[in-house]
């Protein structure tokens, strides 16, 4: 009898664990908006085709990318106005790719090539002041990269730069040639619920006045269907297409994030979201999924001065909240 009771009890516990999410139970989504995976598009060397072709096509589809710029390089200087006054206002994000792309002589010269590049970005894009910026080491001629990895790491730390993943195996035109190969990378990320990325150099220009192409131009017949494929996966909720720093912030905050239920009843749920990441540099919201009382159809979410109303779906509310911010309050929204 005691055995029967014990097994009945464990069965009950198992059922509760499997089905019985109770109000207040909160899951921190692995990726923004509870999407399955992340995809990063990166454009290197500040080629004119980036603002001429790539950015307008990204904007058309509501996508973004990271552009690794070299502000003292010839092609950049001719069109500095485009980079300084236009591209970032369209939602594009800049990263450091060294001032000249010509290599680094020593640590002091590194201060110019890397440090100046970072200051320049933080000057032209006000919201990056005192914030993290992405960094991509340029591929330079043999014998021209003369700082040690330690000196480079010191410069990155000093200037609050985050190294992007390596070019190896991820170069458009160089490693990956077809739309199918590139979308296979995105689908690999989705299958692994992880991140993948593509590094692009030039993008093909077309038209009667085009006299030359940028370095390693990615054909429009490959590039545009790639963007369509990414947009389609994004709209299905499978892919989060974002810039390198936003991805890095989300990942870092998520790694040590915890939710504490302060109070949960029929009328309201109060939560505290915390993370060990430095709140000055890691100020990206995380997506939370909270089980709410079964009678709720809509739910208002308040954190400090921020207030939004979200629908309840399958008994849960999904919303964004700032870690290490004020407490989060969920309440039933009964307005029609």
User: Binding residues for Zn ion, per CB under 5 A?
Assistant: 44-45, 138
Which residue(s) pair with 298 in the sheet?
311
Closer CB to Zn ion, 48 or 325, in the complex: 48
Q: Name the token pair of 139.
A: 């591929």
Tokens 């730390």 correspond to what residue? 157
CB 41 within 8 A of CB 197: yes
User: In the complex, what is the shortest distance from the CB of residue 141 to Zn ion, in angstroms, rounded to a whole number?
Assistant: 12
Minimum distance of Zn ion from residue 136's CB (angstroms): 7
Q: Which is nearer to Zn ion, 47 or 223 (CB)?
A: 47
Least distance from Zn ion to the Cβ atom of residue 63, Å: 22
Nearer to Zn ion, 145 or 240 (CB): 145
Report the nearest approach of Zn ion to the CB of residue 87 (Å). Answer: 17
Return the number of the residue (39 or 145) whose C-beta is nearest Zn ion.
145
Choice between 44 and 113, CB closer to Zn ion: 44
| CB of residue 221 to Zn ion, shortest distance in Å | 24
């Amino acid at each position: 009898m005691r055995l029967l009771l014990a097994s009945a009890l464990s069965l009950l516990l198992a059922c509760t664990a499997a089905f019985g999410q109770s109000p207040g139970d909160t899951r921190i989504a692995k990726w923004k908006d509870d999407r399955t995976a992340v995809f990063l598009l990166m454009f290197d060397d500040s080629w004119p085709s980036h603002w001429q072709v790539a950015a307008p096509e990204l904007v058309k589809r509501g996508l973004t990318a990271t552009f690794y710029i070299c502000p003292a390089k010839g092609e950049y200087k001719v069109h500095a106005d485009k980079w300084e006054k236009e591209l970032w206002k369209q939602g594009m994000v800049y990263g450091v790719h060294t001032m000249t792309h010509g290599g680094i002589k020593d640590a002091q010269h590194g201060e110019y090539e890397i440090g100046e590049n970072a200051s320049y970005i933080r000057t032209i894009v006000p919201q990056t002041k005192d914030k993290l910026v992405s960094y991509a080491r340029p591929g330079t001629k043999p014998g021209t990269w003369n700082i040690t990895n330690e000196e480079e790491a010191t410069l990155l730390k000093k200037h609050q730069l985050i190294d992007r993943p390596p070019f190896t195996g991820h170069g458009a035109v160089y490693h990956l040639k077809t739309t199918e190969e590139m979308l296979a990378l995105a689908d690999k990320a989705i299958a692994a619920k992880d991140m993948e990325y593509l590094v692009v150099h030039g993008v093909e220009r077309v038209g009667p006045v085009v006299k030359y192409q940028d370095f390693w131009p990615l054909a429009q017949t490959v590039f545009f269907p790639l963007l369509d494929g990414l947009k389609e996966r994004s709209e299905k909720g499978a892919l989060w297409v974002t810039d390198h720093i936003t991805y890095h912030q989300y990942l870092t905050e998520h790694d040590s994030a915890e939710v504490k239920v302060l109070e949960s009843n029929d009328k309201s749920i109060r939560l505290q979201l915390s993370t060990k990441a430095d709140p000055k540099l890691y100020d990206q919201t995380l997506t939370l999924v909270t089980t709410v009382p079964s009678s709720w159809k809509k739910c208002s979410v308040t954190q400090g001065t921020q207030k939004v109303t979200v629908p309840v779906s399958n008994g849960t509310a999904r919303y964004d909240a700032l870690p290490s911010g004020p407490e989060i309050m969920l309440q039933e929204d009964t307005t029609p």
